[in-house]
Structure 1
Amino acid sequence: MTEFNKHTILKTHNLSIGYQTKKEKTVIASNIDIELHSGELIGLVGANGIGKSTLLRTLTSVQSSLNGIIQINNKPLDQYNNLELAKALSLVLTESVISKNLSVFELVALGRQPYTNWVGNLADADINIVNNALAETNLNDIKHKKCYELSDGQLQKVMIARALAQDTNLIILDEPTTHLDMYHKAYILRLLQKLAKNTNKTILFSSHEIDLAIQLCDKLIVMTENTVVSDTPSKLIERGTFETLFPKDFITFDKTTNSFKVIQ
C-alpha cells in the first residue's frame, strides 16, 4: 500500500449551523471545530434528528452556515464557484438515481462532467479514470448492466464509483448504508475504508451504524445535543463520549466490547 503525506482537506472554525429566515435564526449546533486529513475515513454519527444532514449540507454549500469558517483545500468554501467546487468535492446522496436506464459505465462516467466539454464527450483520459473507478469498486463484471438490474448494494457501489471518477480530494456521503442488510452495510463501509487508504482521498459519511463506524473509521465526528466533537474512536471511548449519545433507559455503551447494548 502506498504511503502518502497527510494534508488538511477540510477544516472548520467556530462553525454554527442551522436555519435562518427574515424573522428568526434557528441554531442546530455551534462551535464546530473539525479538521479532516487526506487518506482518512471519517464517520459522522449521532441520534436521529440531531443535525447530521444539516452539517453535511452546510459543508457542501447546499445551505449556508450561520457563522464561522469552512475551508476546503485551505480555501474558504464561499470563494468556490460551482465548477470549482465540483472539482474539489464529490457528494453521494440517498436520493434515487436520476435514470436507472443508464448502464453502470454510463452512470459512473457522469462523474467526469466537470472536466468534459459542453457536449460531454469523454476523452481517453476520462475513460481511463472511469475504468479505474470501476476497478477500485469491483464493478468491472457488471459495468455493462443497466442500473435497474442492480441490487441496492450494487447501486451504492456504483454511486461511490461515480464519486471516485469525479476525482476530488474530498468525498462526502449521506447515509450510504441506508436500505442495506448487515453484511452489505459492513461491506460498503469496509470498501470506503479501503478507498481512503488506496486513493488518499478524504471520505466523510454520515451513518446510524455507530458500532461499525467505531471499528472502521480513522476519526469520528460525534453530534450530541450539547456539543460536536471529533477525534479517533479510541480517544472518544476513553472520554466517555458515546455514553452521552442516547437516553440510558434502553441503551448503554459497553466499553469492554466497544459497542452498544440493550439493557435487559
Structure 2
Amino acid sequence: MEKKNAHIILKTKDLSIGYVSKKEQTIVASNIDIELQKGELIGLIGGNGIGKSTLLRTLSNVQKPLQGSIIINDKDITNFNPIELAKVMSLVLTEVVPSKNLAVFELAALGRYPYTNWVGNLTNEDIDKVNQALNLTNILELKHKNCFELSDGQLQKVMIARALAQDTDIIILDEPTTHLDMYHKAYILKLLQKLTKETGKTILFSSHEIDLTIQLCDTVIVMTKDEVVSDQPCNLISKGTFNNLFPKDLIEFDEQTGTFRVKKQ
C-alpha cells in the first residue's frame, strides 16, 4: 500500500546513536534513516537492550547523536531552543511522576509550561487545552482526584493527557504499557491509535508488545543488532523482517496471523 500526500514531521539522515565516555565511544546503532509521517501511529520494537530507549532519547534531544542529523518540520533539531522544541515535541518517558500529590488536572496542566509565563499562570486557552486533553483520554471525570488515588493505567492516561495538553506535532512515549496487565496494555495502545486519528498528531512509542504493535500501528520501526528498518507492518511481514527479530530456538513468527508463537518441540 502506497502512502499518499505524506507530510514528513521528523526524519533522520545517517544517524548513529550511542554513548561517549572519557575513554571510548560506544555505538548502539548506525545508518538510521527513518521518516515519521503526520497523523501516524508508529511503534518501535526490538529485543531487550537493543537500544530503543537510546533512539527515543536521541530523537527527542535528551541525548546527543554520535553522527548524522534529525530534522523536525524541515528544521535541524540543533537549531531549536528548548522552548521551541517543547512546542513541537512532547515526551512521556519512563520517569517518576513529579508528585502524586498533584490533582489529575494539575499534572496534565504541566504540559502547558512552554506557553505559560514564568509564574505558570494558566489562561482560559490553557485551561481549555487541558480539559480537551483529559476528555480525549477519557479521564475528565477524574480531574479533581489526586494522582496517588489512581491505578497505573489511569496514571498513564494522565501522562498522555499532559503530552496532549502540550499541543505538539509529535508525541514520543517510552514503554507506555510497562506495569500494566494485558487488558490495559491493549487499552493504552488502542487509545494511542484513536488519538492519532482524532488529533492528526504523530505518535511514536516503544514497546515489547510486538503483536499489538503490528496489529495497531501504521508504521513499525524494527531494531536489530544489524540494522534499523521502518515500513508498514504488511510490508515488513512480506519481507520476512520479523522472522529475524529473535533467536529461532524458542519462538517463531507466523506470517499468516502476524503474531509470534512458541515453537512446538
SS class of match (2:44): strand
Question: Runs of 4 or more off by more than 4 Å in structure 1?
Answer: none
Distance in 2, matches of 1:95 and 1:27, equals 24
State the partner residue of 1:146.
Answer: 146
Alignment of 1:30-179 (within 5 A): 30-179=30-179
Bigger mean CA deviation after superposition, 229-238 or 22-31: 22-31
| Offset at residue 58 of structure 1 (A) | 0.5
1:227 maps to 2:227: yes
* Matches of 2:22 and 2:68, distance apart in 1: 20
SS in 1 for 2:186: helix
SS in 2 for 1:49: coil
Matching residue's letter, 2:29: A
AA aligned to 1:9 is I
- CA shift, 1:23, in A, is 2.6
Unaligned 5+ runs, structure 1 = none
Change (3 A) 1:17 1:164: same
Letter in 1 for 2:165: A
Alpha-carbon distance in structure 1 between the residues aligned to 2:67 and 2:127: 41
Amino acid at match of 2:149: E
CA–CA separation in structure 1 for the residues paired with 2:193 and 2:102: 27
Instruction: Report the count of equivalent residues.
Output: 261
CA apart distance, 1:21: 2.4
**One-letter code of the match for 1:54?**
T
Q: Report the alpha carbon displacement of residue 83 of structure 1 after superposing the two structures with TM.
A: 0.8
* Length-normalised TM-score, structure 1: 0.97
1:263 aligned partner: 263
2:201 maps to: 201
The two structures, once aligned, show a CA RMSD in angstroms of 1.1
Counterpart-to-counterpart distance in 1, 2:253 and 2:97: 37
* Residues 199-236 of structure 1: CA deviation (Å, up to 9, x unaligned): 01000000000000000000000001100000000000
Q: Counterpart of 1:135 in structure 2: which amino acid?
A: N
TM-superposed deviation, 1:140? 1.1
CA distance in 2 between counterparts of 1:7 and 1:102 reads 37
Identity %: 70
Q: Work out the CA distance in 2 between the residues paired with 1:119 and 1:58.
A: 30
Structure 2 residue runs without a partner (length 5+): none
Shift of 1:94: 1.6
| Structure 1 residues 176-205: Cα deviation after superposition (integer angstroms, max 9, x where no partner) | 000000000000000000001110100000
In 2, Cα distance between the equivalents of 1:192 and 1:79? 29
When structure 1 is superposed on structure 2, of 146-155 and 67-76 the one drifting more is 67-76
